[in-house]
């Protein structure tokens, strides 16, 4: 007589609770011997049917029938199931093979289901991660595709916000000189520039997408000659020409607004959202050196000496205790002056006439703004 160790089973049948009754069983020769609450029963293997079932389709269910009705039982744990399979008589061979095949298929399907579900949740995260890693490139790509008319509209919105915060003027000697030099530096540009002087004592100047340039009175006061002002203007204009400010705004508007922008939505909401980013713009060191180099080219085309630009930035960097606004949004590299001088040497010196403005009078005119 061949017997095996006891297996833990959950049994269902006439007189047993709906949720099943735990019982033990073992193979004895070709029969399954079960200790049911009502007494011990012996079920010949030839009379049982094995199917797959349970919530995950992985369970083994053994069915049989007797005079009282239909019965079934399931090995409780994987170890019990293993024991059932190992000791099952050969007469169950083909049924167990079918069960194995069935369970294998269900298991694969079950895993595939998890894979689909996992991918469903992971994809947006993956997209977000990719976006985050490439945010700069995406912003650049989108910025290059914004039509110039929309860029100008955006610039007007930003300018309106600036006007609400500071007093801007296009009148007076200082504004006239800024416009005069600015126009020389932007000959042939695709933008129609507007030049403003802001009544603000801090040393700052900024360029708004679409071609709006604002120079603080404090910056003009800090210059020693018109060439220094020309150097700052030449630099600022490059942030418009190379769309640095526009790119910065695109970069800062957030994912959802960027999505709608990428899909070609230039609605007022998106533009207004972008316009609000002006105050927080900070250029990268790369953009700064691009603006410096482009600025030198513009000075050369305009026949203006580059020495004012080099000297002014050098002067600011020596004064800077972290409170010169121009340098906080335009981070200068340590070797800016050397880089500028080296670039001028590469370009070859160009003929330049000193700019003919009465500089003390220009500075004096700033007082009339108040
Ligand atoms: Zn800059």
Q: What is the pLDDT of residue 38?
A: 83
212 and 329 in a single domain? The answer is yes
On whether the CB atoms of residues 283 and 248 are closer than 8 A, the answer is: yes
Asked if the structure places residue 135 within a domain, the reply is: no
pLDDT digits (tens, 9 = 90+) for 339-352: 999 999 999 989 99
Asked if the structure places residue 58 within a domain, the reply is: yes
Asked if the structure places residue 220 within a domain, the reply is: yes
174 and 271 in a single domain? The answer is yes
Ligand 1: distance of its center to the CA of 168 in Å?
A: 21
Ligand 1: distance of its center to the CA of 283 in Å?
A: 6
Asked if the structure places residue 33 within a domain, the reply is: yes
Ligand 1: distance of its center to the CA of 287 in Å?
A: 7
Asked if the structure places residue 139 within a domain, the reply is: no
Ligand 1: distance of its center to the CA of 171 in Å?
A: 25
Among 228, 238, 253, 258, smallest CA distance to 362 is for 228
Ligand 1: distance of its center to the CA of 132 in Å?
A: 25
Ligand 1: distance of its center to the CA of 284 in Å?
A: 8
pLDDT digits (tens, 9 = 90+) for 111-144: 777 777 777 767 767 666 776 677 778 888 888 8
Ligand 1: distance of its center to the CA of 329 in Å?
A: 7
Asked if the structure places residue 285 within a domain, the reply is: yes
On whether the CB atoms of residues 95 and 62 are closer than 8 A, the answer is: no
Tokens coding 349: 């010196």
91 and 165 in a single domain? The answer is no
Tokens coding 321: 């205790």
97 and 212 in a single domain? The answer is no
Ligand 1: distance of its center to the CA of 315 in Å?
A: 16
On whether the CB atoms of residues 240 and 224 are closer than 8 A, the answer is: no
Q: What is the pLDDT of residue 297?
A: 96
SS3 readout for the chain:
CCECCCEEEEEECCCCCCCCEEEEEEEECCEEEEEECCEEEEEEHHHCEEEEECCCCCEEEEEEEECCEEEEEEECCHHHHHHHHHHCCHHHHHHHHHHHHHHHHHHHHHHHHHHHHHHHHHHHHHHHHHHHHHHHHHHHHHHHCCCHHHHHHHHHHHHHHHHHHCCEECCCHHHHHHHHHHHHHCCCCCCCCEEEEECCCCCCEEEECCCEEEEEHHHHHHCCCHHHHHHHHHHHHHHHHCCHHHHHHHHHCCHHHHHHHHCCCCCHHHHHHHHCCHHHCCCCHHHHHHHHHHHHHHHHHHCCCCHHHHHHHHHHHHHCCCCCHHHHHCCCCCCHHHHHHHHHHHHCCCCCCCCCCCHHHHHHHHHCCC
Tokens coding 300: 């050369």
151 and 99 in a single domain? The answer is no
pLDDT digits (tens, 9 = 90+) for 188-215: 999 999 999 999 999 999 999 999 999 9
Q: Phi, psi (5° rounding) for residue 356?
A: -95, 80
Which stretches of the chain score pLDDT less than 50? none
Query: Range of 97's domain?
Result: 7-103
Ligand 1: distance of its center to the CA of 143 in Å?
A: 18
How many domains, in total, are found in the chain? 2
The length of the chain, given as a count of residues:
370
Q: What is the pLDDT of residue 196?
A: 97
51 and 154 in a single domain? The answer is no
Q: What is the pLDDT of residue 44?
A: 92
How far apart are the C-alpha atoms of 109 and 115, rounded to whole Å?
10
Q: What is the pLDDT of residue 259?
A: 75
Ligand 1: distance of its center to the CA of 367 in Å?
A: 27
Ligand 1: distance of its center to the CA of 332 in Å?
A: 8
Among 196, 197, 198, 193, smallest CA distance to 209 is for 193
Query: Exposed, middle or buried: residue 324 (CB in 10 Å: 0-12, 13-18, 19+)?
Result: buried
Ligand 1: distance of its center to the CA of 201 in Å?
A: 19
Ligand 1: distance of its center to the CA of 237 in Å?
A: 9
Residue 271 neighbours by CB distance under 10 Å = 24
Ligand 1: distance of its center to the CA of 205 in Å?
A: 9
Ligand 1: distance of its center to the CA of 328 in Å?
A: 10
Asked if the structure places residue 118 within a domain, the reply is: no
Ligand 1: distance of its center to the CA of 285 in Å?
A: 8
Asked if the structure places residue 166 within a domain, the reply is: yes
């Amino acid at each position: 007589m061949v017997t095996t160790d006891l297996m833990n089973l959950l049994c269902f049948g006439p007189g047993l609770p709906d949720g099943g009754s735990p019982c033990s069983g073992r193979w004895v020769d070709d029969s399954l011997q079960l200790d049911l609450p009502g007494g011990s029963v012996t079920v010949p293997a030839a009379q049982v049917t094995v199917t797959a079932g349970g919530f995950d389709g992985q369970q083994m269910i053994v069915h049989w029938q007797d005079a009282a009705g239909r019965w079934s039982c399931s090995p409780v744990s994987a170890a019990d199931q293993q024991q059932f399979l190992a000791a099952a008589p050969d007469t169950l061979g083909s049924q167990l093979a079918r069960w194995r095949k069935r369970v294998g298929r269900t298991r694969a399907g079950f895993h595939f289901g998890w894979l689909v579900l996992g991918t469903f949740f992971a994809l947006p995260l993956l997209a977000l991660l990719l976006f985050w890693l490439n945010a700069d490139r995406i912003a650049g790509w989108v910025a290059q595709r914004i039509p110039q008319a929309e860029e100008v509209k955006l610039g007007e919105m930003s300018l309106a916000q600036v006007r609400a915060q500071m007093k801007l003027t296009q009148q007076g000697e200082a504004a006239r000189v800024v416009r005069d030099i600015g126009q020389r530096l932007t000959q042939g540009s695709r933008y129609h520039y507007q030049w403003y002087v802001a009544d603000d004592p801090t040393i700052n100047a900024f360029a708004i997408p679409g071609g709006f340039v604002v120079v603080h009175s404090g910056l003009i006061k800090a210059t020693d000659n018109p060439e220094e002002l020309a150097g700052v203007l030449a630099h600022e204009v490059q942030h418009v020409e190379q769309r640095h400010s526009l790119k910065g705004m695109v970069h800062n508007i957030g994912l959802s607004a960027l999505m709608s922008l990428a899909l070609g939505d230039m609605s007022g909401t998106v533009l207004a959202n972008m316009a609000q980013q002006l105050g927080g713009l900070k250029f990268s060191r790369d953009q700064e050196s691009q603006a410096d180099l482009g600025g030198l080219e513009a000075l050369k085309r305009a026949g203006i000496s580059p020495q004012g630009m080099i000297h002014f930035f050098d002067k600011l960097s020596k004064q800077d205790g972290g409170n010169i606004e121009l340098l906080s949004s335009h981070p200068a590299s340590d070797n800016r002056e050397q880089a500028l001088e080296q670039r001028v040497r590469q370009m070859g010196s160009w003929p330049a006439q000193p700019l003919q403005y009465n500089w003390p009078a220009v500075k004096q005119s700033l007082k009339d703004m108040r």
